[in-house]
Amino acid sequence: MPTAAIRKIYDTYLEKAMAAEKNRKPTDGMFGIGKKPGDDPCHAEFADALEAALKEYAASAPDSAAVRELLSFMYTVPKRHEDPKSIYWMLIAVHGLTAELIPQLESADAAALHREYGAAFRRWERLPVQQQIFRALAQAAKA
């Protein structure tokens, strides 16, 4: 699967998630009443579609440069969409889906991504999934 198809999954998700945010009522989710934007099915659909696309992409044995380009895109998208938080956290959560692509990186590409990731997400801000990815990139850079 080409990276354009994966980018399309992101574009579709962002469009649907922003529409869900726009259509929410100020009281949604308060006191357990109503739906909150994070409950919208677009989030699960995004994760499922992305997981399937990344498995297909990994199976196609892309070269290291192509993997680096895709991972760089995926790792930087959250910084461009920090609000609303329901979208930001989902864009971070799917970083875990990239773990099987990291071993396909050459050490120079892994080292470059490791630096980019470390600069984008400060150590004390990283969630466990981000710590996992950061360590995997460091390990791949040493290989």
Amino acid in position 59: A
Residues 3/69, Cβ–Cβ less than 8 Å = yes
pLDDT at residue 37 greater than cutoff 90? no
DSSP state of 121: S
Q: Is the pTM of this model over 0.85?
A: yes
CB 109 within 8 A of CB 67: yes
Per-residue pLDDT at 24 exceeds 90: no
> Based on the number of CB atoms within 10 Å of its own CB, is 122 exposed (0-12), middle (13-18) or buried (19 or more)?
exposed
pLDDT, tens digit (0-9, with 9 covering 90-100), for 103-113: 999 999 999 99
In sequence order, the 6+-apart residues with CB closer than 8 A to the CB of 122 are none
pLDDT tens digit sequence for 94-134: 999 999 999 999 999 999 999 999 999 999 999 999 999 99
Tokens at 58, concatenated: 């990994």
All structural domains of the chain with their residue ranges: 3-142
Cβ pair 117, 140 in contact under 8 A? no
User: Phi and psi for 23 in degrees, rounded to 5?
Assistant: -90, 0
Q: How confident is the model at residue 27 (pLDDT cuts 50, 70, 90)?
A: low
